[in-house]
Amino acid sequence: MGKLGLPRDMAKVAMVVSNSCAPDPRVLRSAFWLVEAGHQVTIHAFDRLQLHSKSESTHGARIMRYHLGQIPYGGMRKTIKGILKFVKQVKASLRHSPPDLIYCHDADTLSVAVSLKKSHQIPFVFDMHDLHHTWIRMPAPKSIIRKLLSGKMEATMLRQAKKADAIITTSGKIEGGKFDGFEQYLQSKNLSSTVVENRPLEISIRQQKPSDDKQWSIGYLGRVRELKTFTLMLEAVKLIPITERPKIIIAGDGIKSKEVNELIMNAVESGEVEAEVSGAFIQSQFQELVSQIDVMFALYPPNRGNILQGALPVKMFDAAANGVPSIVNSDCLMGELAESEELGKAVAWGDAQAACNALLELKGAKVELRITSQREKEKFLSTVLPLLD
């Protein structure tokens, strides 16, 4: 037996993520792959709203959720203070029981690994899900304070990332493609990375064809962070003759949930559309929700930064795994990938008529996600397992 009573070839991996992991598919996929490879994984998660159990086991991985009081998403002072408190407690926990590897999911957890590497020589992986420093600008893109804070966050992230033993990210330029991904962003900062896209573990194509009298629908399933996405959705739907309009299905929570609900319900009350709006859902409910929609709406304001620099929407891959096409932003990596793999249509942001035309083109269409997570798993393991030898 090795240290901590584990078999000699079993390493202890601590993952750190600043959400509740209830669920976070990317976090859980990486944990499952390491468990399958024979290692012990504990996920240290920050349950900001204290909605979930403090301890949970799933597919061999353990989730430890930290309850530190109600902490909002998308805020400034309270959010930052809450994350700092979470990071401090995770550091204390890992110093008490040091792992063999720390795996940081996104930039706001990097200080945990940097500190433990300095004090205990523990190697770490930085998994850059997104350009985390751009998110603070989302609630108020024109705010000078938020812009300055975003720049400071980026500088801190880059300084800490240079200490990582390996960097993984979610997007990169496709072969023969035009648009950059996060891999290229990191390259521009003299950091090398491995791309592991957010492709789902399971493929579940619907076999049953919709009946002719069934009203078709468009959907948005995920975090509700921006009102403009739903304003554009509504504008596009209203360009379709009223008797042919799709039903709108929205499921998810977020800082703009209340405003989006008011926007859509006002349109329902005025007789302009039919819609269903619901809150947060767990991963096991996704299959039921996506089975109700014919087109996924995944258009985002490009001025928030991460869109033009290579973000790939998880909902595009998840929808395609269930046969559902998506509408995404053009003139960036997500649009190029969607059309090259025939997963949907890319349209210019703000062009309601183009979005309307794309909706009508995709009505009744079925797509196939031909590249699955197996490719991503192989790249992931080839990057992480050498650090556990």
Q: Tens digit of pLDDT for each residue in 159-176?
A: 999 999 999 999 999 999
Residues of the chain with pLDDT under 50: 1-5, 207-211
List of domains in the chain: 3-201+373-388 (3.40.50.2000), 217-362 (3.40.50.2000)
Q: What percent of the chain has pLDDT over 90?
A: 78
At 295, which helix (H) or strand (E)? strand 295-298
* pLDDT for residue 210: 47
* pLDDT for residue 211: 45
**38-66: buried (b, 16+ CB within 10 Å) or exposed (e) per residue?**
ebbbbbbbbbbbeebeeeeeeeebebbbb
Q: Is the dihedral of CA 258, 263, 269, 272 positive or negative?
A: negative
* pLDDT for residue 74: 63
* pLDDT for residue 19: 92
* pLDDT for residue 7: 54
